Amino acid sequence: MMKFSAGGASIQCPCCGYDSFEKDYRQLNSRGASFLGLDWANKNATILICQRCSHIAWFMHEPLSSR
């Protein structure tokens, strides 16, 4: 369980207001995007999973972790 901040503000879950998340990564590309030539979509996004309600928040730039 870790706390994070992005853009200079601490991140809270928009669903339940909790402030501890698990960090993971997901590919943004899909077959459809590649077929259409949208190569800018072939990137990794950082996701934070709320440890209380499991809401997933997506970030293009990795949030800073702060314990």
Q: State the residues that interact with Zn ion by CB under 5 A.
A: 13, 15-16, 18, 50, 52-53, 55
Determine how many CB atoms are found less than 10 A away from the CB of residue 63. 20
Report helix, strand or coil for 65.
strand
User: CB of 4 within 8 A of CB of 11?
Assistant: yes
Provide the minimum distance between the beta carbon of 19 and Zn ion in the complex, in angstroms, as a whole number: 9
- Number of Cβ within a 10 Å radius of residue 35: 8
Q: Which is nearer to Zn ion, 18 or 59 (CB)?
A: 18
Smallest gap from Cβ 9 to Zn ion, in A, equals 17
The CB-of-30 to Zn ion minimum distance in angstroms stands at 26
